[in-house]
Structure 1
Amino acid sequence: MLAQEITHYIKKPQEGDNVVIKLDMAKAYDRVSWAFTCIAMRTMGFGEVFIDLVWRIMSNNWYSVIVNGSRHGFFHSTRGLKQGDPLSPVLFILGVEVLSRMLNLLHQDQNYKGFHMQIGGPQINHLCFADDVIIFTAATRSSLQLIMKTLSTYEVVSDQSINKENSHFMVPTNTPMETIDMSIPIHTMASISPPKTTLNYIKRVTTDFFWGWDKEKKKYHWASWETLSYPYEEGGIGVRKLEDICKALQIKQWWNFRTKNSLWSQFLRAKYCQRSNPIAKKWDTGQSLVWKYMMKNKTIIEPHITWRVHFGNRLFWWDDWLGEGQFAQHDDTINNLNNIIVSYFLQNGHWNETLLRQEAPLHLIPKILNYKIHYQPGMLDEAVWKPTGSGDFSCATAWQICRQKKDSNNINSYIWHKHVPFKISFLVWRALRYKLPTNEKITTFGSSPVNCSCCRRPGKDDINHIFVNGDFAKYIWEWFLAPCGVYHKQTYIKDILYSWWGMENKNDVHKLILQAAPIIVCWNLWKNRCAAKYWIKQSSITRVKFLITKDIYLLINTAYSYIQWPTTWHEMIKIIELCKQDIRIWQISWEKPPQNILKLNTDGSALNNPGKIGGGGILRDHKGELVYAFSIPFGNGSNNQAETLAPSHGIEWCLQHGYKKILLEVDSELLVKWL
C-alpha cells in the first residue's frame, strides 16, 4: 500500500521526472556470502560468541548429488543459506539491511535527486521485503548513475547478483493505473481498491462458474448474485458481495491509519493532511484512489472507534475518547488545526476544571469531569473497536457494519447444516423460492406443458406436486413422518418443512434428524423425478426409501460415530428418541469474605452491543449480611463498558464511605484480564 501511494506521485513535477525500479535478485538465498554476513553482524554490534555460533551453523553445509536414484559425491558448500532453516530469513535480512543503509546514504550526496516526496514527511527512496527491493528516485543521469554504482558495490561485497533481465522500471505515462489490469486477484483487495468494472468482471466470472456450463453455453441463472449474497439466516447462501468485502478492507485501512504509527500512515499524513486533522479533510481531485475511499468511508467508521485514555496523548477535539463523538462536532468554531491533546487538561492525572470551563463545550463538562482516567504516565492511549467484545478490530465486524441487511428468518437457517452437503441444502433453497426447472417453470420459456413422470397418476409437474402432494411424495412423507408421530396433511413445501422443524426435539441427535431429514427427503424426491423424466431409471418407492434411509444413516453415523446405529428407519428413530444427554452437575455457591473484608459482586448488561447499558451490584460482609446494593443505568455503550462501570460505581461508593478492604468478584473474564 505504501508503494502504491508513493507511485501515485510519479507524475508530480520533478527534475528529470520520477522513476520506480523493481529489482530481481538472482538465486538470492543461494548466493549469500558467509564472510559478508559475519562482517555485517560484527558492524551492527553482535557479540563474537554469537557470530561464531552463526558461522558454524552456516558453514556446516554439505551436499551430495543423486544420479539415477543413487548418491554420488559428498562435497562442502562455500556460500548460501539453507532453504527452510528458520534462521536463514533473519540472516538474509541482515545482508539486505546493508543495501538499505547504502541507499539511504545517497541522500547525503549533492548530485542525488530523490523521488518527489511531500516536504515534512518521510523521505523514502526504497522499500524492501525479503529479496524484493523497490527503488524510488529521480530520472536524472547523476541519480541513476549513483543508484547503479551503489548496486554494483553491493554485488561485489555481498556476492549477490541482480538479474538485470528480470528487473523492471516504471516511468510516468498517460494511462490511469486503475485501468491497466482487469484481472486483479481477490487477495489483493486488502491493499488495492479495485474499480467497479473489475469487481463486475470478477462477479460475472464467479456467477458463471457457480451456475455452470452446458458444453460451451452458459446455464440459466436462476437467481442473481445479489440475491445469493446474504448470510444463511437472511435468505442467502452464505457468500459475500465483493463490494462489501472491499469496503470492509477499506475500513481496515482507515483503522490502521488512525491507530498505528506505521511508515505508511506517516507518509499519508504528510502527503494529504500536513498539520490538519484527517477527520476534517476531504478528498480532492488528483489524490489517490485509496485515500478517496478512506475519506468516503470515515464517517461510517469513526462512530465505532473510541479511545481508552491512559496518558492523554489523543486529540481532545478530534478523537472520540469520551464516547460522545468528536467534540469538534459540537463546536463550529474549532478549526482543523486545533491539535490540543487530552493531557493538556490534566494535572497530576486529574482534570483541570478551570481549563475545561475555558475551552470545552459547556454541556459536556459534567460528563468529562465524571470520566475516570486510569492515569499511567508514558502509556499511550488505546484504540477500542466498539463492535467487538475485545476491542480489537476484525474485518468480520467491519463487514457487518457496511453491508446491506435483511430480516432474519428461522426457515432460512434450518436449510443449512454443517453435516449436510451444500448441493442438497441449495436444492431446498431453490425449491422454497420456486427456482427449479420443473415442467411448469419451463413452459414460461416457451416449452409445451408436460405432466410429471414420478407418479402412477401423472399430475402437474410443479414444485408442490413433486415435493409434497403428489402420490409418490405423499407416500414417502407418510413413511418417514409416521414413526415421529406426525401425519402428512400439508399441500405446500414450506408447510411440510415446518412440520418437521416445528417439532420439539428430545435430544441433540433428535434435533439433527428433525433438521436434516426433510432436506434429505426433498433431495431424493428430486433425484427420483429427474431420473424418471430423462429415462435414466424408473420411479421407484423402494429405491427412494432405501436411499433416504441410507443418507440419514450416514449423517448420524458421521456426527455420532461412537453409537451403534441400526440401518432401518423405524428402528433408527426409536433409538434416536431414547438418547439422553450426559448431564454433569457442579455445585456453585457464593463464598463469604474473610473477617473485616467486604465482598462486592457486580454485573453489567446491554440491550444491544452497543446499546442501552446498566449495571448492578451487592456489597456483603463476612457474615453474608447486606451492606449496600445498587442498580443504575449508564446510558449508551457496549457490554464491556457496562461490566466496567458497575464495579467502578461500587468501588467508588465503598471509598466514599470509608470501606478500603474490598474483595471484588465479577463474571467478566475480559475485565479480570484488564485489571
Structure 2
Amino acid sequence: MGFFKDFHEQGKFIKSINASFLVLIPKKGGAEDLKDFRPISLVGSLYKLLAKVLTNRLKKVMGKIVSNSQNAFVEGRQILDASLIANEAIHSIQKSGGGGVLCKLDIEKAYDHVNWSFLLWLMEKMGFGTKWISWIQWCIGTVSFSVLINGTPTGFFQSSRGLRQGDPLSPYLFVIVMEALSCLLKKAKEGGFLLGWRLCGRGGAGVEITHLLFADDTLVFCEPSIDQVSHLSWLLMWFEAMSGLKVNLDKSEIIAVGRVENVEELALEFGCKVSKLPSSYLGLPLGARFKEVAIWDGVEERLRKRLSFWKRQYISKGGRMTLIRSTLSSMPIYCMSLFHMPRSVSLRLEWIQRDFLWGGGALERKPHLVDWSIVCLDKRKGGLGVRNLALLNKALLCKWS
C-alpha cells in the first residue's frame, strides 16, 4: 500500500520496476521474416498491479470520451456490434440498388508506433487532469526493455514511442489514440469531404454511417468517387503525421458493394488491393447471406484441425467427453452469436462430435451407443451435459430480436 500511496502523491516510482522482457511470438506457422513475429512484453507483477488499478479507473470514463463508432474496451459494447452493423449496412446498400465502397484498413504495428506526445495532448483535450496525465506519462515513459534470446535476457534499452503489448493500460490508451481518427472522419463528413453511406430504415428515416472501429480494425464507408477516396487518403496521412500510426496499404482492401463500376480505378488512387464480398471482419463473415451454408465451412475446418492434434493420442471416453464440452461445442459459439446455423451444418458438426466420442479419438465411424439427444440432456436427467448446437444458436440469436 505504501507503493501506491507514494505513486499517488509523487507520481513516480523506481524506474527498475517498469523493466520488461521482450519475447517474439510467431503470428503464423513457419514464420521467418521479422514482420511475422509479434513482440510481447513480460511486465513485472508490481507494475501490473499499479497499471490494473489505473485501468479500472480509466474504464469508468471510456464510454464518455470514446465515440459510438468504437466498439473495443468500452463497457456495454461488444465485438459483435461492429460486425452486425457492418453486415446490415452492406445488406441495406445492396437492397436499395445503390453502390458504395468499403475500405478495410490495416494499421501497421499498431501498438509499437504510438506517439507519446500526441497521446498526452489528446488526453488533455479530453479533459484528463494534470495529475492523471503525469501518471500516464511516467508509466509509458520509464519503460525499459530487454530481449530474451533463448530464454536469456540481454542488455536493457529504452524506447521513445509505442505501447507495450502486455501492459493492462495499453489497450485503453490505444483506443484513445484511435479516437483521433474517428474525430477526423467525422469532421471530414461535416465538411462534405467524406459522405459515407446513407441507410434507409423501415419508417423512411435514414441513418448515415462513415466508419466502424474495433481497436485498430477499421472499416470506412465511402461513395464510389475518386474525390472521396483521395480525401480519405489525405486524411490518413494527416493521422499518421500526428499519431505515428501508419496504414499498411499492402494489407488494406477496397471492396465494391452494390453497383460500382470503377473499383479498380478507386483502388489505384488509394494504393491498395481490390477485394470482393463475401469477405471477413473481426473473424466473422462480411457481406455473406444470413443463412448461407458456406459461412460455416471455416468453423468445420477449425474443428477438424483441432481434432487432428488429438486423434494421435489415446484419450479415455471421459477425457473425450471433457474436450467436447469444453472445446468442440464452444468453438462455433462466436459465429452462432450472429448467424443462423442451417440444420445441415448443425448435423455435420454434431456428427464430428459423435465420431470423436465413440470412435476412440480417430474419427472412425463406430456404432454410437447412445442417441445424441440423450447425450445432450442435463446430467440430472441422465445425459452428459453436451450443448445442443441448434438450440444454443436460437438462444444466442434471441438477444438481437
Cα displacement string for residues 330-353 of structure 1 (whole angstroms, at most 9, x for unaligned residues): xxxxxxxxxxxxxxxxxxxxxxxx
2:158 is equivalent to residue 76 of structure 1: yes
1:229/1:237 contact within 8 Å kept: yes
Larger fraction in strand: 2
User: 1:395 maps to what in 2?
Assistant: none
Q: Which amino acid aligns with 1:165?
A: D
Greater Rg by CA: 1
Q: For residues 93 and 339 of structure 2, what CA distance do their matches in structure 1 show?
A: 17
Q: Distance in 2 between the 1:140 and 1:14 partners?
A: 17
Out of 75, 89, 103, the position equivalent to 1:6 is 89
Q: Which residue of 2 aligns with 1:260?
A: none
Q: Could you tell me how far apart the structure 1 residues matched to 2:96 and 2:239 are?
A: 31
1:9 is displaced (CA, Å) by: 2.2
Task: Indicate the residue corresponding to 1:19 in structure 2.
Answer: 101
The residue type paired with residue 173 of structure 2 is L
Structure 1 position 204 matched with structure 2 position 204 = no
Amino acid at match of 1:87: L
Q: Shift of residue 5 of structure 1?
A: 1.9
Aligned pair partner of 1:164 in 227, 249, 253: 249
Unaligned runs of 5+ residues in structure 2 are: 1-83, 258-275, 279-287, 300-330
Secondary structure, counterpart of 2:251 in structure 1 = coil
Identical residues among aligned pairs (%): 32
Deviations 1:104-154 (A, max 9, x none): 222223353322412635422211122222222222222222222222211
**SS of equivalent residue, structure 2 residue 295:** coil
Match of 1:187 in 2: 333
- Counterpart of 1:129? 214
Note the aligned Cα RMSD (angstroms).
2.7
The residue type equivalent to 1:187 in the other structure is I
Q: Does 1:226 align with 2:373?
A: yes
Shift of 1:163: 2.1
Q: State the match for 2:388 in structure 1.
A: 241
Question: Partner amino acid for 1:182?
Answer: W
AA of the residue aligned to 1:186: P
| Displacement after TM superposition at 1:78 (Å) | 0.4
Compared CA separation, residues 71 and 9, structure 1 to 2 (3 A): same
Shift of 1:168: 3.1
Are the counterparts in 2 of residues 12 and 116 from structure 1 also a CA contact under 8 Å? no
State the distance in 2 between where 1:143 and 1:96 align.
21
Distance (Å, rounded) in 1 between the aligned partners of 2:119 and 2:248: 21
Q: Deviations over 1:470-501 (max 9, x none)?
A: xxxxxxxxxxxxxxxxxxxxxxxxxxxxxxxx
Q: 1:272-351 alignment to 2 at 5 Å?
A: none
Given candidates 157, 163, 176, the residue that maps to 1:94 is 176
Spell out the pairing of 1:538-549 with structure 2 (5 A cutoff): none
- AA matched with 2:332: I
**CA contact 1:33–1:79 (8 Å) conserved in 2:** yes
1:19–1:115 contact (8 Å) kept in structure 2: no
Whole-angstrom distance in 2 between the partners of 1:89 and 1:68? 28
Aligned residues: 253
2:358–2:368 CA contact under 8 A, matched in 1: yes
Letter in 2 for 1:181: I
Shift of 1:80: 0.9
Distance (Å, rounded) in 1 between the aligned partners of 2:387 and 2:206: 38
- 1:101 partner amino acid: C
After TM superposition, the structure 1 stretch with the greater mean CA deviation from structure 2, 120-129 or 60-69, is 60-69
AA partner of residue 85 (structure 2): L
Do the aligned partners of residues 192 and 240 (structure 1) sit closer, same or farther apart at CA in structure 2, a change above 3 Å counting? same
User: Would the aligned equivalents of 2:355 and 2:363 in 1 still touch at CA under 8 Å?
Assistant: no
Between the aligned partners of 1:83 and 1:65, the Cα distance in structure 2 is 14
> What does the per-residue CA deviation read over 1:288-317, in whole Å, with 9 as the maximum and x for residues that have no partner?
xxxxxxxxxxxxxxxxxxxxxxxxxxxxxx
Residues 1:204 and 1:170: Cα distance change in structure 2 (over 3 Å): farther
**Maintained 8 Å contact 1:19/1:139:** yes
> Which has the bigger relative contact order, CA under 8 A and spacing at least 6?
2
Q: Would you say the 8 A contact 2:356–2:362 is kept in 1?
A: no
Q: Secondary structure at the match of 2:92?
A: coil
* Contact 1:63–1:74 (8 Å) recurs in 2: yes
Give 3-state SS (helix, strand or coil) of 1:54's partner: helix
